[in-house]
Amino acid sequence: MRYIFFLLITILFSSCSDSIEDSDQTIQGEYNDIFFRSEASNAFIDENGHLIIEGSSTETLRLQVENPEVGVYEILDTNNNEAFFGLDAQLFVTEGENTGGRIEIENINDNSVTGNFFFDARLNGVGERLNFQKGVFFGVPFGDSNDNGDDDGSDDDETINENFQALVDGVDFDADVTQTTISNNILNISGTQSDVIIGITLPADLDAGDYDITTDGNQNATYTQDGNAESAVEGVLTIDTLDDNQISGSFSFTTENGIEVTQGQFELVL
């Protein structure tokens, strides 16, 4: 039955691809029957040789394919093909029960990559389900890792190397996946490593400076593990840079159940 479903989705992909103009460099599709189209897109080969395809608007999408070659790649627990979808400071991943999908690379060269995809993901790998279908990436350009797709010809020294790191009860946390979203002048940033997510919410127009993290103030933080979220009861958020292109700073906080998050730092593209 699963392969019959795959065949039906492939037919849907074909009709969706026909609607994309040749001049577009985009990722698009439907998540839970809601249309998604990236405003910025980028592709690169990571240090492990995996092909990474990223797109963002108010939501963020990231696809990982274990081989940067033309072919069909199923998303399974037993391989390195993955999909991530960030929505309202929540991260849906292709981990956990009843998840998976497929990514097809139709064309790839030194400049861009084109293909299609679909997947089922779960919130933090254990929570509610998200279905992404009719996915297409068309002419997504290759650039540096963590490039937001807006190549203005500036020097490589100005490229932001995104990071989101901290100590959690003294143990290193180094995010594999980062996310930034802005809605109604509220900025959400987060980092995910395995089944752990650290998220911070703040006004999008903050000036540089130090700010208290509280449960009922303008600056909030959460620590989530295995789908169980804990709010920060106290802490400090330091903003070094916040403009239309990037945010950087540091943080520390304590959760309601006593988890200590210290030496946090981040540098992210907006």
pLDDT at 113 over 50: yes
- Domains in the chain: boundaries: 2-141, 159-269
Query: What average pLDDT does this structure show over 47-60?
Result: 87
Hey, how many other C-beta atoms are within 10 angstroms of the C-beta on 115? 25
d(CA 176, CA 224) in angstroms, rounded, equals 15
pLDDT at 159 over 80: no
Task: Give Cα separations from 156 to 7, 145, 148, 244 (angstroms).
Answer: 43, 12, 14, 19
Q: Distance of alpha carbon 59 from its chain centroid, rounded?
A: 8
Q: Distance of alpha carbon 235 from its chain centroid, rounded?
A: 25
pLDDT at 140 over 80: yes
Higher pLDDT, 28 or 11: 28
Higher pLDDT, 1 or 97: 97
When pLDDT is cut at 50, 70 and 90, the band that residue 180 belongs to is confident
Q: Alpha helices, DSSP H only, in the chain?
A: 2-17
When pLDDT is cut at 50, 70 and 90, the band that residue 227 belongs to is low
pLDDT at 20 over 80: no
Tell the burial category of 66 from Cβ atoms under 10 Å away from its Cβ (0-12, 13-18, 19+). middle
pLDDT at 11 over 70: no
Angle ∠(8,118,199) on CA atoms, nearest 5:
155
Q: What is the pTM of this model?
A: 0.59
pLDDT at 27 over 90: yes
- Interval 235-258: pLDDT, tens: 999 999 999 889 999 999 999 999
